Amino acid sequence: MDDEKIRIRLISNAFSGMLEVSSLRGIEAIGQLFDFSIDCVLEASDQVETGRLVDPRARAGLLFLRGNEILRVVWGRVVEAKQRLAIQEDQRDITIRFVPRAWSTTIHERTEAYVGSAPQIIARVMKRALLTPDADFQLRLSGDYPEREFVLQYHETDLGFLQRLCEHWGIYFFF
């Protein structure tokens, strides 16, 4: 009953087709960004350029499949890719670090002043991190958020600032 086993495949706009995932390790927790280490097997004919794969604009997804049924899709991006020598001559192995696209908000610590409502500030910070409205994030807010004359991000990562701003206004988010 091989069809009953769950298979995992990696897809990306950085290459054609799907990569077979042979190993998946990592962490996923409430209020935290997931971080997965993935080993993939590439056939000799697979054309995967690691430089294109780690491009910040590249999108990737993990497909969890049972037979032909998609059970879950986790969207994100590849931030590290290392090709390794394979045991078999006609295959190559690649190890990938897979994170949410919002991971880019953890890279830089900055000090910046903002003017506007919480949704306006959130959208501005997300766009600066190369995240696209609707494709990468959605603001589904029902409350009123008044315009603020001065909001300061002080020696914080964009993610730390967004978490603090959202906690203050009772806004939650998930990836």
Higher pLDDT, 138 or 87: 138
Residue 175 falls inside a structural domain:
no
Q: Which of 85, 71, 118, 125 is nearest to 102 (CA)?
A: 125
Q: What percent of the chain has pLDDT over 70?
A: 92
Higher pLDDT, 58 or 154: 154
Residue 141 falls inside a structural domain:
yes
Among 24-28, 75-79, 130-134, 149-153, which is the least confidently predicted range? Answer: 130-134
Same domain as 89, residue 140: no
Instruction: Single out the residue in 52, 76, 99 at which a domain terminates.
Output: 99
Residue 82 lies in domain: 2-99
